[in-house]
Structure 1
Amino acid sequence: MSIRKEWGEMAPAERISYTNAVLCLQRLPPHLPTAEYPGVRSRFDDFVATHINYTLHVHYSGLFLPWHRQFLWLWEKAVREECGYTGHLPYWDWPLWADDLAKSPLFDGSETSLSGDGEYNPGEQSISGSGITIPRGSGGGCARSGPFKDMQTHLGPFSRSLASLTEIPAPGFDYNPRCLNRSLNDWVASHYSNTTIVSQLMAAPDINEFQMVMDHWPARPEGVLGVHGAGHFSLGATLQDLFASPQDPAFMLHHAMIDRVWAKWQDADDNRRNALNGTNVITNPPWASLVTLDTVMEWGVLDRPRPIHEVMSPRINEYCYKYT
């Protein structure tokens, strides 16, 4: 059984090995055709484009947890088989660093980090919506140090609005090169990624409540950010992009933590093992189909279609992993 470790538990050489493998994927040619997907310039971008392609089905829906579990496993498989990484997917344990992201081993900007804050951008604004105002972070510009300081992102950005989305909005798969944007936001992390929130997740009596703490959808009038959104809004514009967020290398570690708490929640009660709730369409509209264990999910060029029951445990089928 493979062990997925928290980033700070890994030796410095292990962390560098992982970030080198991510950089390797950014150098490898894509499997998707650039003629159809102009913004896809690397194997790394194959994952970004796949996420964009299925965003309107696998967020704020019953597919969110199972689809991303397999997405992470496909990523881990790629860095290992295509780039020689010998470790396993790390995770970002949110509460450990919620009060000071810049001092964490993930975002301190050192060579053993995932790169740190961005250059200060005076034009960065606070974000308001759904009864909550998120103050701006401490950066707002290009990541200024660490292994991804010279990284280019190629796809997006997309609007934050989810109103009446029935197809992938502009800019679609257009090529739009720019830097990795970072803006560390301790306010978001300390309010919505803390020990209390994780405890609420683990104490959820059913999958409906678990998903509510995870995503808080539909949004509550008092303005509460789910822990999933909190991770995305903790690091800046690149990770905040619902469609193209895998362009920030922290995406996979954030979602590994989501998978970790889901796996531990499942293991705490046999009745939770196969618990599902929601539909196969974003925001669960009343006309969408309810998900079941036989609902088939897709990952395009990354994998074959799979029914949900194949991914409901880290110890079944092709999986054999656990978290520390």
Structure 2
Amino acid sequence: MCQATLSSFITLAAISGLSIGAWAAGISQCTSITERKEIRDLAPEEWSTLQSTVALLRRDGWFQWYSYIHDTSFNSIHGTSHFFPFHRRFIRDFEMVGQRYNPRFAVPYWNEFKDYRNPALSPILSTTYLGGNGRGTDGCVSDGLQAGWTMTYPNNHCLTRTFNGGAQIQAWYTSEYTSSVMERDTTMAKFRQDIEYTVHGAAHIGLGGDMSTRTSTNDMAFLVHHAFIDHIWTSWQGQGHQMTMDGPGASGEPDVTLASLIPYYKESVESVMTLGWGLMCYGYAAPVRSGPRSTTRRRRGLTMALGDVAADLARTLPVHLLQKWFPGVNATVPRPGATRIAHGAKGLAKNGGGMPLPMDVPVEWVDMHGYDRHEVRRVVEEARDFVNDMNEAGYAPLY
């Protein structure tokens, strides 16, 4: 990197006041909370705020800055238990810088469960929001929020996307699979693997282009995707794992604990564990939904949706599959309130023929992250086993 670029980065760090030495004092409770909404729930004025703020962040070099941070920290924040803490701190850092331009700025999240069958058809990847697949031989993004953008790190290039299914995107992961992970996993080491190699990786691989590189932060899709991943972590924390932290650090480093320092930020892991405290002054709004039998709009949170999945599973699956995939679900006393049970071929037909099998993970992606090939294969095969069991039982997916 040239000296001029280094100097500009140092200047950005000094201006932000967010990246170095933020924890000289103890953690205190937030006095105001930023509400992160599902991106489809943003009001027109909220989307306008996001558009104008993101344009200013680009103008002043912040996308270059955050790509630099993610790139230079890459080996420490993937395949280790720093994965969740770093990305939580990173997204919040971006959000706080944006709030210096407009206090109403917030990073939305993308509820990818709704779009997992064919994400390319999601409205999020339309001109209205983030834009779609790249065009031409270079895969340049030509519509949506970042249409025609030239990115400047690690070199000058157009923002790119290259869907891994050509014009389509291979299927992602379901809320049912994620619910099973949340039920079964009791350690950060296991939970991190089961989410990082599947739900997390599928979006990066599926969108391709910049999203499949070490500088994936060039794409605004990175921000809304990782806000979703953070939402999943928050939901798991709320199931009795609020301060659960264990598992491997980077190569040659000790296991991660609450006292460990987050790569680059040099702040304790403990400092990001609880939303509403310290610098984590944000929370997740439940997505607004409209049901086919209701003329009113109602709110339904991610954790509530996963709870509804468990209720359906208790009514639908044989006991041995509940014990295998959802050990915490009571098989003899189904939870009340489940209204979307669909058995057998008829139910599967209404929901696209059951769950599609998870995509293959390219070995190039595995090696770029320094993942253990055997462990990635094991996690993906376990996910495929889950899908096969659900389909053979005639379970109709939520989406």
One fold, TM greater than 0.5?
yes
2:94 alignment counterpart? 75
Does the C-alpha gap of structure 1 residues 192 and 115 become closer, same or farther in structure 2, counting only changes over 3 Å?
closer
In the alignment, structure 1 residue 230 sits paired with structure 2 residue 202: yes
Q: CA deviation at 1:181?
A: 0.8
Q: Secondary structure at the match of 1:3?
A: strand
TM-score between both structures, scaled by the size of structure 2: 0.59
For residues 142-291 of structure 1, what are the structure 2 equivalents within 5 Å? 142-156=140-154, 176-185=155-164, 191-206=171-186, 207-216=188-197, 226-241=198-213, 243-269=214-240, 272-281=241-250, 285=251, 287-291=252-256
Does the C-alpha gap of structure 1 residues 204 and 89 become closer, same or farther in structure 2, counting only changes over 3 Å?
farther
For residues 40-79 of structure 1, what are the structure 2 equivalents within 5 Å? 42-79=61-98
Question: Cα RMSD between the aligned structures?
Answer: 2.1
Equivalent pair of 1:201/1:261 in contact (CA under 8 Å): no
Structure 1 counterpart of 2:258, one-letter code = L
Cα deviations across residues 132-156 of structure 1 (Å, max 9, x unaligned)? xxxxxxxx71112123111112224
Instruction: Select the structure that is richer in helix.
Output: 2
CA distance, structure 2, for counterparts of residue 17 and residue 234 of structure 1: 28
2:116 to 90, 98, 104: 98
CA distance, structure 2, for counterparts of residue 184 and residue 195 of structure 1: 22
Cα deviations across residues 32-89 of structure 1 (Å, max 9, x unaligned)? xxxxxxxxxx1221111111111111111011101111111111101111x2251321
Q: Secondary structure at the match of 2:114?
A: helix
Does the C-alpha gap of structure 1 residues 201 and 308 become closer, same or farther in structure 2, counting only changes over 3 Å?
same
Structure 2 counterpart of 1:14, one-letter code = E
CA distance, structure 1, for counterparts of residue 164 and residue 47 of structure 2: 23
Note the residue ranges of structure 2 that are not aligned, 5 or more in a row: 1-32, 287-399
Does the C-alpha gap of structure 1 residues 24 and 69 become closer, same or farther in structure 2, counting only changes over 3 Å?
same
Structure 2 counterpart of 1:313, one-letter code = T
In the alignment, structure 1 residue 3 sits paired with structure 2 residue 3: no
Q: CA deviation at 1:182?
A: 1.3
Q: CA deviation at 1:13?
A: 3.0
In the alignment, structure 1 residue 108 sits paired with structure 2 residue 126: yes
Q: CA deviation at 1:317?
A: 1.7
Equivalent pair of 1:101/1:186 in contact (CA under 8 Å): no
CA distance, structure 2, for counterparts of residue 13 and residue 99 of structure 1: 30
Q: CA deviation at 1:103?
A: 3.4
Equivalent pair of 2:98/2:105 in contact (CA under 8 Å): no
Cα deviations across residues 245-266 of structure 1 (Å, max 9, x unaligned)? 1011111111101110000100
2:257 alignment counterpart? 292
Q: CA deviation at 1:210?
A: 1.4
CA distance, structure 2, for counterparts of residue 147 and residue 191 of structure 1: 24
Q: Secondary structure at the match of 2:84?
A: helix
Q: Secondary structure at the match of 1:291?
A: coil
CA distance, structure 2, for counterparts of residue 309 and residue 91 of structure 1: 23
Task: Say how many residue pairs are matched.
Answer: 251
CA distance, structure 2, for counterparts of residue 89 and residue 316 of structure 1: 18
Equivalent pair of 1:266/1:273 in contact (CA under 8 Å): yes
Q: CA deviation at 1:17?
A: 1.9
Equivalent pair of 1:151/1:180 in contact (CA under 8 Å): yes
Q: CA deviation at 1:185?
A: 4.5
Cα deviations across residues 257-315 of structure 1 (Å, max 9, x unaligned)? 1110000100111xx1221232331xxx4x4311111111243xxxx521111111112
Equivalent pair of 2:80/2:247 in contact (CA under 8 Å): yes
2:56 alignment counterpart? 24
Note the residue ranges of structure 1 that are not aligned, 5 or more in a row: 29-41, 122-139, 157-175, 217-225
Equivalent pair of 1:181/1:238 in contact (CA under 8 Å): yes
CA distance, structure 1, for counterparts of residue 96 and residue 193 of structure 2: 30
CA distance, structure 2, for counterparts of residue 181 and residue 265 of structure 1: 33
Equivalent pair of 1:90/1:256 in contact (CA under 8 Å): yes
TM-score between both structures, scaled by the size of structure 1: 0.72
Equivalent pair of 1:214/1:227 in contact (CA under 8 Å): yes
Q: CA deviation at 1:99?
A: 2.6
CA distance, structure 1, for counterparts of residue 178 and residue 136 of structure 2: 31
Structure 1 counterpart of 2:132, one-letter code = G
In the alignment, structure 1 residue 86 sits paired with structure 2 residue 104: yes
CA distance, structure 1, for counterparts of residue 221 and residue 189 of structure 2: 27
Q: Secondary structure at the match of 1:115?
A: coil
